[in-house]
Structure formats: C-alpha cells, structure tokens
Structure 1
Amino acid sequence: MNTKAIPYQPQGSERVEPTPIDIVIHARARNDWSPSALSVPLVRIAADILLLVAGTIVGGTIGHLFQRTHTFELSTQSLLIGSLMYTGLVLCLLQSDNAYPRVCSLLHVKETETVLRVSIKAVMVTLVLCIVARYPVPRMAMLGAWICGTALLAIGRVWVLEAVRQRIAPALSQRRSLIYGSRRTARRFFTGALHSPMLGIEPVGFVASESEHSDAIYSYDYFQRDSRPIFHEALSVEMLTRLKIKDVFVCDSSISDHALKTLREVAQSANCTLSLVDDQEILANKCPTRVWEMDGLFIATTEPNDPGNFYKITKRLIDIACSSILILLSAPIWALLAIAIRCESKGPVFFRQTRVGQDGRSFEILKFRTMKVDAPKYARSPNEHTDSRITRVGRFLRKTSLDEIPQLINVLNGDMTLVGPRPEMPFITEEYGPWEATRLTVPQGITGLWQLSADRQYAIHQSIEYDLYYIQNRTVLMDVAILLHTLVYAAKGI
C-alpha cells in the first residue's frame, strides 16, 4: 500500500506539489530543517566507512591466510590502501543508489537489500579495474574482504539506524504531530515517521473514532517497543494547543467531506498544517493484486508483480542448495530433539498437518511435535507459552523456533520456500477475502517479514501488511536480506 501526504493549502494560495519519497509511505519532505539535522547522514556515512574499512581489512587478512599460493604477498599497506579504495567505491555507489534517504523501509529490509546489491556492483567493478590495470588479484583476500565487509555493513547499518533514532533524533528539531485515524494506514504512517527522524515528524498520539477501544497503537518493528496513546476525544483547538501540535495527518479514508472541512477549520484556528494521507486499502480490496504509482497517480491492477523467471529459477536453486546443506549440518540436532520429544511423551516425533500452499494447493507440513498427542490437530495455534497443550520440550522448541527445522524437507520437496508468506490451515484460508488471498499467489515460506516482526504474536491473516509488502517488493537480494535478518534476530531470541 502506497500513500502520499498532501499538505493542506489555504484558498487563494499557490499550491506546492509534494515530492514523493519511496517507502512504506510517501511523506512530504520538509525544508525547514535545523542545521543539526545534517548530523544524521554524516553519522551514517561515517559509520559506513568504519564498518567497511574494518570488515574489508579483517576479511582480507583472513582470506590471505588461506591463500594456497604465496606468490603474491599482501602487505599491510597494500591491504589498507585497497580497503580505502574499495570503501570509497562502495560509498559512491550507495550514494547513487539513494542509500541515505530521509525515510526507512519496513523493518529496514530494503536497506539490507541495497547493501547487497551495491556490494555486488562494487566487487564486479573492482575485478574489471584489476584486469584492465593488469594488477595481480589476490583472490582469497578479495573474496574474504568482500564477504566480511558486506556482512558487517549490512548488519551494522541496522544497528546504526536504531542508535541514530534513539540517541540523535531526540535532539533534532521535530514538529509535534497528531495522527487522525487508528487503522492500518495510520499505523504505517506512524512507523515511517518514527523510524525516519530526518522527516522532522514527532508523532504525539492518535485521534480515533468512538468505535476504537484500544488505548495505544504500536509501530511495525521487531519488538513493538514504540507506541503512542489514542486520545478518545474530538479534535479541537484546545486539544491541539494543549499538546503543542504543529501538524495533523489525516489517515482515515472514510472521513466525510463535512468532517474534513471541520478538521481544516480546527487546524487553521490552531495554526496547524493539515495533511491528507491517501489510503489505498479501498483500491486494494477491489483490485487486490498490486497498487503502484505513476507520477502521483495510484493505479490498482490485477496484473501480479511478477519478478521474472530469473528470480524464480534462482530462488529455487537457493532453496535446494540451502535446505540440503542445512539438513546435513543439523542432522545431529534432529537426533537429539527426537530423543528429547520421545522421552517426555509418547507419540510421533513429527507433527504433520495439511496446509495451503501457492495457488491453493494443499501439502503436508512437517514440524517437531511441541504439543501433547491428544491436542486437537486442526485448531488455532496457542498464543501463550503457558498453554497446557504444550509440552516442556515444546516450549523450548517454540521459543527457539527449532520446531520449524523439519520444514527444510518441505522446501527441498518444493512444497515451500525459505522466504515467503507463512502457510495457513485450510479452514482459515476458506475465510480469505480477495485481499488476503493475495498471499497465496506466491510460494509459502519458513521465514518472512511477519515472522521478524512483533506482530507474529497475532494471527498471520491479521497482519497481512507484511506479506503484501514482500510480494510487491520481492527480489533475490530481498530474500537474502530477510534470511540475514532472520539469522541476526534469531540469535537474539526473537
């Protein structure tokens, strides 16, 4: 779902068209930045330089140690010079690829994808330059430097963005803003503004309808640590003055013309700007496959966002290679878990259940059994680890996600893929509307954006936003980026 914030202009004034920014939302780029806002891109660039230099030096040194032939000696000076030159090349490519935008993508996956794409370009350019200059290429050193530098940059950038948001952003000049609405669009806008300090938007809270019973709204992220309260009162001049609001963003597509006129009058009286955030949910419900933008116009189409045969073939090859290797490497773990499961309770080691795959095809999913044998086979999954149906070993397996390992067999068989929407049970997919059914147009996977978010505590079909974002943006590098995020955050116990 793409949205675009349109600043309200009083009658008689010249309208200034906003510049769309390509993220989860399209927010208005402000020009009233304080000089301190320059510290954000400078910190990010400086961090990228340190990460790249450290990664390439460490990786180059390790690679050179494993060099089979020592006909080429790599001196410390040569390694440092090469590292600095490669770092400069990567920074230029990052800049040309708009890798330092004012806004951040959903769960920072796009940023990781950009790093992977730029690193591949950089190493190809480096190889060509070495061949043209007839410079002897230390293959293992270059390979080690590239792998280590790319990995450190991809992982480090996410941590740097989070540090910038928590430590630098509060000191920047921010405009206190109120979000009118409480549904999906409001939450997306809140997340984009919160994680993009360069926008200069400080969300204070939400104004919701009388039917909204929640007290707060959480952002789309890994931990759901960020939330803002919902004010259960009508928007008024007194409210805007009391909260020191400078901007009001209307994220409610169902608002009537009369209500919108009232909001404009209230905002003008409180000397606040009013912006409309286009909600594409209505278009998506009528035409669920894809919504795209053309020079400010939003177009809903039934044509799927087909990434092409290269993507499909490469994705399948990666699935086969990775699942085969992981099954072989994890074989001892399978044996230990099987023994632990059988020692605690009698019954099968594996849990088998019919799930719905791509295009509605059914298949039998495999998991390590985490619940008692007499637990209902087809029922909604337990939301709490204290559920009496779960065994003691099962709690450990669920917490560490080790119960999902047998699905590598499903991936090897072609029933599933490593990265994709999570497969649901038939009685759930039968309740799908046209919008939810979009999930079934792609292969179902083990991990994905939903599994990385804090919304994984809720039902999959209640958090379809992640799957739609993935379907519209999927590439080979995005799949690799999601796998990297899965490894990093799985290590943190998420």
Structure 2
Amino acid sequence: MRSTMHTTPQIRGRLLAPAAEPLPVSVLGATSQDRAWFGRLLTKGEILADFGAIVGAVTSSYALYHFFHLGKQVYYSRFTVLEMAGVFALLCVSMLDRNGAYRGDSSLLLVKETERILRVSSQAFLVTFCISLLSSYLVSRWMITIAFLMVPLFLIVEKQLLAGIVRALHARGYGLRRVVIYGAGLTGRRIFSALARSPRLGLDPMAFADDDPSLAGTTIFEASYSRRRCSAVVFEGLPSDAFLREHHVDMIVIAVPSISREKFSAIATCAASAGAAISFVPHHFAPSDHWVDYVNLDGMLLASFEGPLSHSSYDSLKRSVDLVLGITLLVLASPLWLVLALLIRVTSGGPVLFVHERVGQNGKRFKIYKFRTMHADAQPYAPSPEKPTDARISPMGRFLRRTSLDEIPQLLNVIKGEMSLVGPRPEMPFIVEQYTWLQRQRLIVKPGITGLWQLSADRKFPIHENIEYDLYYIRNRKLFMDLAILLHTFIFATHGI
C-alpha cells in the first residue's frame, strides 16, 4: 500500500485560523462526549467479559477434572463451584485493573494484552495455590492445575473476540478518535498508512499539519479501500487550540523526528488545553516525562504520553473512603467548627468562611471553602501567602494556618465530590490558565485537602512549581498510599504555614 498526494487548492487553509471549509471527517455527528461514553461502555463490557471468561474457565476446569478422573475425586456443589470461580474471577479482574488492563488502549497485535494475561494469571494462581496449602478446606490440586491452563486460554480467546467486535464497531464509525498528524513527510505518511491498516485501534487520521507552505492544500491518499475514508488534507502551521476544539481532535501525532523542544512544548500545551492526547516519533528529541509509553505501530516505534493508569476499582473505593471519612470527620469536628467560627468573628470581624473559585478535575471550576485566615479587606485573587509573617494574615489566621485547621470546611467539598481527602492542591483559575502542558497533568485527578506537597518541607515555591510531588502521586496513587498520607497529615499537621 502506498500513500499518494495531489493538490486541491480549494481547501487551502491554515491551522492558526479557523478553516475556510469543514474538514472531511468521518462520523461528523459524533461528539467527544459520545466517544467518552463509548469508551466507558467498552471498558465496563471488557470487565464483564473478563469476569465471565474466568468463571467459565474455572467451571470448565472442574468439569474436565471429573471427566478424566484425575487424582482423588473431590466433589463440590454447583453453588460452591460458582462461588469459588466468582471469587477467583474478582481476584484476577482486580489484578488486571491494577496492571492497567482497562485504561482504554491496546497494542497493535494484542501482544501486550497476552503478556499481561499470562503474568496476572500466574500471580493469581500462585496466591490461590498458597492459600490452598494453608487452608483446611479440601481443594483439588489437579483442578487448580487445569484451571491454570484454562484461564489464560479463555481470556486470550475472549480478548480476540472482543477485538473483533471493537474493530467492527470502529469500521461503522463508533468510538473513533480523531487524529491530526503533524508532519506530512515520509514519517507522517508512514504513520497515516499504518493507522489506515489498523482500524481496531480506533484512530482516524483526519488531517495533516505541516510548516511547509508548498504542501498546504494537498491531499494525501492511502491506497486501502477497506476504510470508508482514506484521505487527509494538509494544513499549514502548528495545530492551534481553536482548531483542535472546533474539529474535536482527540490526538496529535508528531511525525517530525527532529522537532525542537520549543515547538514540541507549544504543540503539547495546545493539545492539553484542548483535551487532546500526544504521540510522537522518538528520535533526536525525547522529552523527559514520567508517562512515556512505547508501542510498535506497523514496524515503527511510536511513543505516547499514556497518562496515569486509570484504576476504576481504586477510584470507586477511594470515593467511598472519602464519603465515609469525610462525613465522620465533619461530625467529629463540628464542635471545633463552632468555636473557631466564633473566634474568627470576634477577633477579625467579617465572614467566617472564605469562599473562592478553584479549578478541579479536568478543569472543572468549583467553590472551595476555608476558614478565613486573612483580613477581610485582603485581595481575594492575589497569590497565596508564602510566609506566616505576611501582613495579610490575621493573628487568628496564623494559628489556623500553623495547625492546618483552616482546611476543615473543605470536608464539605469532599462530601460534594469536588475534592478528595488526598490529591494535588487546587489552584485559582488565573494561575491554571498559565499552566504548561506538564503542569496541566495535575488536573487529571481530583484535588485534595492534603498530599505529598503539603507534607514536604519544600513549600517556599508555588504549588505548580513543585510539580514533581504531584506527578509522583498521580503516577503511583494507591489506597494504601492515600492512607499513609492521611496518617502523616494527622501526625505532622502542625507543619502548616
């Protein structure tokens, strides 16, 4: 298959301004919300399919164990077999989730998925075998051995069938992610051809962007008629935020191996502002980032910022913990709330609560609640005080900041679901508007009352300049890490400013 080009002057345009005519994108009616809904539905379906495949594998193993009369025959009721299969399936699905199986991406040949299945199955069976040795409950070792072979087989076949279903849905336009390829040279055309031959990935290359004005307005065709649309228009200039939003672009693939760091940063910032992902061809320039993943795309090594792993079970469990602990702490702190409110009112006058706009998860704005620590006439949208001697802080406010008691009202934000107990601190909109691409990664998770940055002694710099703490937490977040941070917060609460 070869890519060809010809010029179509009537559709010349620049990415720095809105296109004169709409792009010939497929499935124009689909919105970003539709694709997000499709992705969530697909993830839930994959979890249910994995659960069913594992249950089927375990029950089939029990049937084969008795059919061939292997070893000492141990009999269980149907309910007991299903119960054991269900518990084991929950264990495997949780481990798959923990290993990033449901984050929504996939490798070209399902090799990564197969490797993950084999690894998780081995770990789960090792745990099960150890439990069977220690348990007084009679469990057939033959059944465990057969299941050890059957579970990976069932999961691999199930993944292949699911991939076929997804491929068919993508061929009909469901769940496609729109892609702009920056760089219409040989590398960009190879990526275009590879994506055209891999519809299961759900990446629809809709346009090219290139700095060469002689290429503006040309159309690149892919000689593959298995797709409904095998052409993409070349536009001149860097992809702008407005262009990406107008055409609902989900991903930018940077196909210029020798791109400068400044130009890469400019594209990444626009992509982050528009909610688009970034992939690139690693060569002379490879940005140092915590979340770079590599995938083999038709023989080419393509790097992508994969972002933090999405742990659906962790997110659900964390929300439950936030609700239980948030309500409990709010009830326990209510007498202290009344005392502090009275002291604030008496010592400095003005309102008790400081209500201010902050930016939360995915850029959503919300009102944050705090006990007022500054004088009533202080400028609300000025940068936060960095030292306890700041003249804007009232005497009562210094005590509240030193003991971190000013954060108590944020339990209301936690209960409302706008914040979490643990996470990056939320910042004001005018600061977020100046974020770099890397700093915008803080918005991936819910902001929190406490976190690694709050526990650190490195608080003389603004929150967004200590990005390493937040990136480390986002990348490695686990329930036990959250509990550890909460424990350290209670122990070292007097380290407030």
TM-score, normalising length: structure 2: 0.41
TM-score, normalising length: structure 1: 0.42
Question: Who wins on radius of gyration, i.e. which is larger?
Answer: 2
